[in-house]
Amino acid sequence: MTDSAPAPATSTAPVDVFAKVRGHEREAQLNAARDAGLLPYFHVQESAAQPVVVMEGAERVQLGSNNYLGLTSDPRVLQAAHDAIDAYGSGLTGSRLLNGTIPLHLELEREIAAWMGTEDAIVFSTGHQANVGTLGTILAPGDTVVADSADHASILDGCLLSRAKLRAFRHNKLDKLEKQLQRAAGDGGGVLVVVDGVFSMEGDIAPLAEIAELCGRYGARLMVDEAHGAGVLGTRGAGASELLGVEDRVDLRMGTFSKSLASCGGFIAGATEVVDYLRISSRAFLFTASAVPAAVGAALAALRIVRSDEGPALLAGVLDNARYLRDGLEQLGYAVVRPQALGAAAPGPDGRDDVVTPIVPVLVGDDWKAALLWRALFDAGVFVNTALHPAVPPGGALLRTSVMATHRREDLDRALGAFERVKRAFEAEHGELPGPDS
């Protein structure tokens, strides 16, 4: 034994695989932002997920969560999580295939299928795994997947994993989608179009009726990620597909429990033959521990509330709050990014033409300005999410605000008061922010 490092087996030693973690560009940017107190990420919430939370020792109005219905603190949801722990323990320590299936998983799958109006559904441990584990399994080399350029990262990950040919089209541009479908027809394999129903940063809605029509015309299958639409849009809260009347033309619908359903986990709803195939073939389903009892119990209780007589008022509540925040921000002169009109045939999410989703993004443009504004709002008692490049196109930095059904008007007024004060001080020092016509 000697103290010196072993001699490399060959004279050309490889570079250290860890070299990339040192001194990279992102590290320098992160450190500079952190040193200036401008890093909008990794802040610690010291209280339960509520409309107003404690973060870093002070109260902040929570405009940065996906807890759209506010069900994370509903006593029935909490009780269901406790009951699941009492009955089945803290974890299942195994895959769904082996020792990790409890009756709650099966009940939840049955209720999701009934909610979505599909033959069957399968529950994954996270929404990310639902996308990766479905796209990576259903698609194979030789197939083509046509995806919106603003689709969620987990969709892209699943597409890349599958090694199918990926053809992206410009966000929500139907002519670009059609071009890619024409090209895909010449690729020779099966074709799947995959889009977010509601886009997570922009908060806008995919034109699903037109997309479904194009899929029909070009013989492609359609998958819609309903992470942000489920529990919010449509009269049953079944998502953008329900809102736009295309449920029977969407082949696969993905959703998560980490937003309206107040828990953690994900699902795919669709035809029995496809769901059964995922059950025996999806590696992200088979080779991971199943969703823990508390998470499944909570999601099931939240789903039952959405599907009960209480559902419509909750759905209307979150959209009303989104409208109130959006209108207030616009009156203050902020550039709110509004979802596109849905076309004459489609009503707004709650039957009104005035299209809104719980996501109300404010365009700032410049990354540093967005970080400065985030900090000023944080200090003024409001937490918002910040979307910087590469999460959004260069020069398209957003403050992503989002509301819950349980925000009271006084919470939103408190937040709007902070937005007003912060804008005045910010513009005096840093120049004008983009306005409503930007």
Active site includes 259? Answer: yes
Interaction of residue 241 with ligand PMP, rule CB under 6 A: no
Name the token pair of 316: 């209307």
**Separation of CA 113 from chain center:** 20
Among 74, 202, 225, 242, binds ligand PMP (CB under 6 A): 225
Active site includes 423? Answer: no
Site string for ligand PMP, 96-135 (x = CB under 6 A): ------------------------------xxx--x----
Options 228, 241, 258, 402, the catalytic residue: 228
Closest CB to ligand PMP among residues 165, 253: 253
Cβ 427 vs Cβ 419: under 8 Å = no
Q: Scan for tokens 């992503």, then name that residue.
A: 400
Torsion of the alpha carbons at 324, 376, 53 and 300, rounded to the nearest 10: 60
Options 154, 200, 260, 402, the catalytic residue: 200
Q: From the DSSP assignment, how many helices (H) and strands (E) are in the chain?
A: 14, 12
Options 105, 259, 407, 423, the catalytic residue: 259
Interaction of residue 152 with ligand PMP, rule CB under 6 A: yes
Closest CB to ligand PMP among residues 198, 380: 198
Q: What Rg value do the Cα atoms of the chain yield, rounded?
A: 23
Site string for ligand PMP, 258-297 (x = CB under 6 A): x-------x-------------------------------
d(CA 435, CA 418): 17
Distance of CA 258 to CAs 66, 84, 127, 169, 228, Å?
7, 18, 8, 27, 10
Q: Apex CA 220: angle with CA 219 and CA 221, to 5°?
A: 125
Residue type, 189: G
Interaction of residue 256 with ligand PMP, rule CB under 6 A: yes
Interaction of residue 200 with ligand PMP, rule CB under 6 A: yes
> CB of 410: closest distance to ligand PMP in angstroms?
28
Active site includes 228? Answer: yes
Q: Scan for tokens 């016509």, then name that residue.
A: 437
Write out the catalytic residue numbers: 200, 228, 259
Q: Which residues bind ligand PMP (CB under 6 A)?
A: 126-128, 131, 152, 154, 196, 200, 225, 227-228, 256, 258, 266
